[in-house]
Structure 1
Amino acid sequence: MINLASIFPNPLVPDCIFTSPLLATEPSSETAPMVLAGVLLSLIFIYLASKLGGELSKLVDLPPVLGELVAGVVVGVSALHLLVFPEAGAVAGDSVVITILQFVGLNPESTEEVFALSSEVVSVLAEIGVIILLFEIGLESDIRELQKVGVRAAIVAIVGVVAPFVAGTVGLVLIFGMPTIPAVFAGAALTATSIGITSKVLSELGQLKSTEGQIIVGAAVIDDVLGIIVLAVVASLAKTGEVDIVNLVYLILSATAFLVGSIFLGKFFNKSFVAIAEKLQTRGNLVIPALIFAFSMAFLANAIHLEAILGAFAAGLVLDETDKRKELDQQVIPIADILVPIFFVSVGARVDLSVLNPSSAANRQGLIIAAFLIVVAIIGKLITGWAIVGQEKINRLAIGIGMIPRGEVGLVFAGIGAASGVLDKPLQAAIIIMVILTTFIAPPLLRFAFKGEEQLVEQPELS
């Protein structure tokens, strides 16, 4: 979820990656109803997939989020084509939604416009979904507990970035004889951690407020910031062969100022927020001001070239300190239930499993490189749990597993590298395979790692 457009005015990356069709093209009075129909059909497929996938996953004792991701793959570009996106290379003819719309009267000349606009609306809803998710996670977290594990979270994040980056880059150069810049870009893709996927699994397992959960979430937040910085460096290398020091310093300072400032803001904001909420008399007197604050923080983070989700997470942490936190948490849950599945199903839908087909020569080479990247990706994050010293009773395995999923962030790295011409087809396929595997293995492994703790939590309730 990296705000690439604002960070990298990079001529190597085509404008189409950053230009929203929703903003560039205004639907005519004839196509607007069809755009709405396309969005509605897409949402029907998303919610059906989300609910069926989540329920089936729950039946086999796996985290529901894994079922949503798998369901997304089924309805996406890899199988049914019910949910496909133009930025992944799909055209209107690939979309079942467009086929249905043509059957009910869509003008053939307007198919590409309707496809682009409806897909963009779904993408925006998915972005809002992950913002709400991180706001909810912030509400469920405890800023004091996060401060307690701050040093340990920072160690986990730094090790989780440096270890896979160095191992991946050096290995690709020495073992596969790869040029330096493509190897660096692939190594950078190994540094990512999907905070959305990990935090959702932790919440489902009831481990979000555990010491391990707080370390994982804190490390994932720091890792997200570090990921932006790493991507800034490798994008500069790809463009000019040099690193833009000014941009790098700006990113570091702005990220630090934003996160530290958000923590101090909570001390002065809480009473004012509660006073405002209590004076409002209409419906939504609590949740609407909270969403205004969350979206304002997300906008501010986006405006200073950080992640919108970091702003939403910080807003949740601030409001968790208020006396209304439990009531607010309950009011946010239904909103998350509506919007968050759009994000997870969309992530799965964008996964193209054709890169796993060994019959293609390019894929065979990519599969070999992918095997190496997967090993580095897993070990490079798994060791982070053992980077923490002096904590005898901590679940180090859970911490390491919690940092494994790359999710949508890893796909962003692959997309930017391919668009800039740095990554050839085999290396791009290898990165995508690595992202797919790490995203899908992490939820069940995390459930396994916390299995003993779950039993200990449940026993008092049964007695």
Structure 2
Amino acid sequence: MLNFSVSNLFFATATEADKAPLVLTGVLLTLAIIYITSKLGGELSRLVNLPPVLGELVGGVIVGVSALNLVVFPETSEASTSQIMNFLQFFTPMNPEFLSEVFASQSEVISVLAELGVVVLLFEIGLESDLRELKSVGYQAAIVAVVGVVAPFALGTVGLIYFFHFPTIPAIFAGAALTATSIGITSKVLSELGYLKAKEGQIIVGAAVIDDVLGIIVLAVVASLAKTGEVNLTQVILLIVSASAFLIGSILLGKFFNQSFMAIADKLKTRGNLVIPAFTFALLMAFLANVIHLEAILGAFAAGLVLDETDKRKELDKQVIPIADVIVPVFFVTVGARVDLSVLNPLIPENRAGLAIASFLIVVAIIGKVITGWAVFGQPNINRLAIGIGMIPRGEVGLVFAGIGSTSGVLSKPLEAAIIIMVILTTFLAPPLLKLVLKKPETGVPTTDNSVKELASTK
């Protein structure tokens, strides 16, 4: 007679052969939690007229190491603290060493998916950064963008080194995170107020697009510095030249590539005839950037800029968005999940330094962008304060900096948390402040720039 029970069926001890299925189970459950979190957070943000990406970030904080411990990683937590691992352990008992192996493998898969998410995100941003618009905004927007990158970067980096005694590379990384500007958030507010076609609106949107390009170059440089672990002036100059040359060269060669791309897309008759070649090109460009010791995201961004010039740009945009909707939330939720907000608890004396760092970054983030309005010359009666405030929100671009800084290991927990707080607050503050300093025009300024409206709606 068989001596068999339900407990034998469901609670068998794990063996090495069970590792792959257990890892897959953990990955599937983690992804389900990430998607539920991203949608709930995004919808709640929309209800209060905030960008969905903020809801995804805050949701990540809730399910991550700061609260529920559902989505956690080995660099911040032990396997035994992961609620998902405890769930698997309940059904399939594992010894501590085996549990740690499963946890590490599962976390690595999620981390790779998050990295892929940021590559897709930068490809999407590249597609939305209209080069024709960059050419038309003129020197005013370019000056605003340069000031908006240089001022917060310099103030943040120098302040962290001299006032808070941070090592050079973490200080540079945090300073670089201050350079970002989210075009989607600002352009949405400008559109609502009827200022998208006004002088202020044109300068802000143009400067924000240029800001993205400069910011990606800065990110590629500082991420490469993080890999080497040292700062050398010659190396920095070489990296800046390499990143700029890669981006400019890609755009110039793109004119010749676009003809081949269109020919291939027209000849393919099966599903994905447009989006698969586009993503293949983006991945190859990301691979090439990595090979020459730049960042993969720079290659993906360059690919987006190149394909933005094709005749099928709008069709490609529509096909890329659903793919980004699936993979990009993994990046944003995991960025929030990695942040340990307990390091900012003011009740613990040793945490107060982290709060001071966060306060410093917020002040620099605001001042460093507000002053850009006074970089506009030869424009009488222009609202300089509105231009400066319009450049404040960091949004999704600032999170890219924080996410890459976190995965590279260059940021300490207090500094990482301070950057996340800076991104959240600047993104929260900018829309109401912009509405405060801009009044709806009495006659109404036409806002028929559909490309920017589409861009705002996707953010």
Instruction: State the TM-score, normalized to the length of structure 1.
Output: 0.79
Which residue is 1:342 aligned to? Answer: 330
For residues 261-410 of structure 1, the aligned pairs below 5 Å read 261-391=249-379, 392=382, 395-403=386-394, 406-410=398-402
Q: Measure the CA separation in 2 of the matches of 1:112 and 1:305.
A: 32
Q: Measure the CA separation in 2 of the matches of 1:234 and 1:42.
A: 29
The reply on whether 1:79 has 2:67 as its aligned counterpart is yes
Aligned to 1:444, the other structure's residue is in SS state helix
Equivalent of 1:198, from 182, 189, 193? 182
For residues 14-53 of structure 1, the aligned pairs below 5 Å read 29-53=17-41
Which residue is 1:252 aligned to? Answer: 240
Which residue is 1:3 aligned to? Answer: none
Q: Deviations over 1:377-419 (max 9, x none)?
A: 3322332343343454785134421358743424655786868
Q: Measure the CA separation in 2 of the matches of 1:228 and 1:317.
A: 16
Which residue is 1:105 aligned to? Answer: 92
Cα RMSD (Å) of the superposition? 3.5
Which residue is 1:436 aligned to? Answer: 420
Cα distance change on mapping 1:371 and 1:402 into 2, 3 Å = closer
Equivalent of 1:95, from 82, 95, 115? 82
Alpha carbons 1:373, 1:431 under 8 Å: kept = no
Q: Deviations over 1:99-121 (max 9, x none)?
A: 11112215234211111111111
For residues 200-215 of structure 1, the aligned pairs below 5 Å read 201=185, 211=202, 212-215=204-207
The reply on whether 1:216 has 2:208 as its aligned counterpart is yes
Residue 366 of structure 1 and its aligned partner are, at CA, apart by 2.8
Cα distance change on mapping 1:153 and 1:105 into 2, 3 Å = farther
Alpha carbons 1:225, 1:306 under 8 Å: kept = no
Cα distance change on mapping 1:151 and 1:258 into 2, 3 Å = farther
Cα distance change on mapping 1:37 and 1:446 into 2, 3 Å = same
Alpha carbons 1:65, 1:200 under 8 Å: kept = no
Runs of 5+ consecutive residues of structure 2 not aligned to the other structure:
1-14, 451-459
Equivalent of 1:186, from 158, 171, 196? 171
Instruction: State the TM-score, normalized to the length of structure 2.
Output: 0.79
Structure exhibiting the larger radius of gyration computed from Cα positions: 2
Runs of 5+ consecutive residues of structure 1 not aligned to the other structure:
1-26, 420-427
Residue identity in the other structure for 2:251: I
Residue identity in the other structure for 1:101: L
Which stretch has the larger CA shift, 442-451 or 260-269?
442-451
Q: Measure the CA separation in 1 of the matches of 2:354 and 2:368.
A: 20
Q: Measure the CA separation in 2 of the matches of 1:432 and 1:244.
A: 24
Q: Measure the CA separation in 2 of the matches of 1:329 and 1:79.
A: 36
Which stretch has the larger CA shift, 429-438 or 205-214?
205-214
Residue identity in the other structure for 1:125: L
Cα distance change on mapping 1:386 and 1:191 into 2, 3 Å = farther
Aligned to 2:101, the other structure's residue is in SS state helix
Cα distance change on mapping 1:71 and 1:351 into 2, 3 Å = same
Alpha carbons 1:193, 1:224 under 8 Å: kept = no
Residue 234 of structure 1 and its aligned partner are, at CA, apart by 8.5
Give % identity.
54
